[in-house]
Amino acid sequence: MSEISHLSATAVPFIKANVDTDQLLPKQFLTGITKTGYGKHLFHDWRYLDLKGEQKNPDFVLNLPQFKDAKILIAGANFGCGSSREHAPWAIADFGIKVILAESYADIFYNNCINNLILPIVLSAGTIKYAADFVTRHPRAEIDVDLELQIVLVGERTEVFSIEKHHKTNLLSGLDSIAQSLMLEQEIASHEATLPNWLK
């Protein structure tokens, strides 16, 4: 998986509050056994005018040509609420989003993003509004995100963000939970060797 350190990219504004995981990826698309292929159905009920996902809604922000290929999503408060399904971050990553900016997140969704190497950044409500307004006026302008320095630069505004040290380390190293466990494979094997046979 690819690590995250620094990203300068365009952004798409969608600051609707309380967007839940079923709105991010409706339940009928939770059929795959891999993490790929879900991006087509991200925000499906808003992005498409038909159930099959063949007719795009021309008014939905992710379908607007000026926001094509944006890698940063500016989201609303309590983003990712609802169920604990990890498929929602899978769809976000598969769509090409690498960073989310929001005022707040549902806890499980936040952790699922980290585990899928999406950087969910918490910013003040004022900065979120400023960022959304800025990219709406200047859709091809880039937002600068520096994880090492924990800084977001948008237009003329800079904000420092907080992130747990272990989350930061994992994102900078490109490690999901499985990769973290594999790094301790020798220590795990050594511990298992000390266990009595009835515990093995």
pTM tops 0.85: yes
Specify the amino acid at residue 87: H
Q: Which residue has the tokens 């499980």?
A: 108
Spatial CB neighbours of 150, under 8 Å, sequence gap ≥ 6: 160, 161, 162, 163, 168
| 160 in a structural domain | yes
The C-alpha angle with vertex 30 and arms to 29 and 31, in degrees rounded to 5, equals 90
Would you write out the chain's pLDDT as a tens digit for each of its 200 residues?
467 889 999 999 999 999 999 999 999 998 877 889 999 999 999 999 998 889 999 999 999 999 999 999 999 999 999 988 899 999 999 999 999 999 999 999 999 999 999 999 999 999 999 999 999 999 999 999 999 999 999 999 999 999 999 899 989 987 655 445 445 456 655 656 676 776 66
| 38 in a structural domain | yes
Strands of the chain (E only): list them: 6-9, 11-14, 72-75, 99-102, 119-122, 143-146, 151-154, 157-160
| 87 in a structural domain | yes
CATH number at residue 160: 3.20.19.10
pLDDT of residue 4: 84
| 200 in a structural domain | no
pLDDT of residue 56: 96
pLDDT of residue 177: 55
User: Measured between alpha carbons, how far is 144 from 61 in angstroms, rounded to an integer?
Assistant: 21
Domain count, the chain: 1
Q: Which structural domain, as residue segments, surrounds residue 122?
A: 6-195
CA 47 centroid distance within chain:
18
User: Measured between alpha carbons, how far is 33 from 35 in angstroms, rounded to an integer?
Assistant: 7
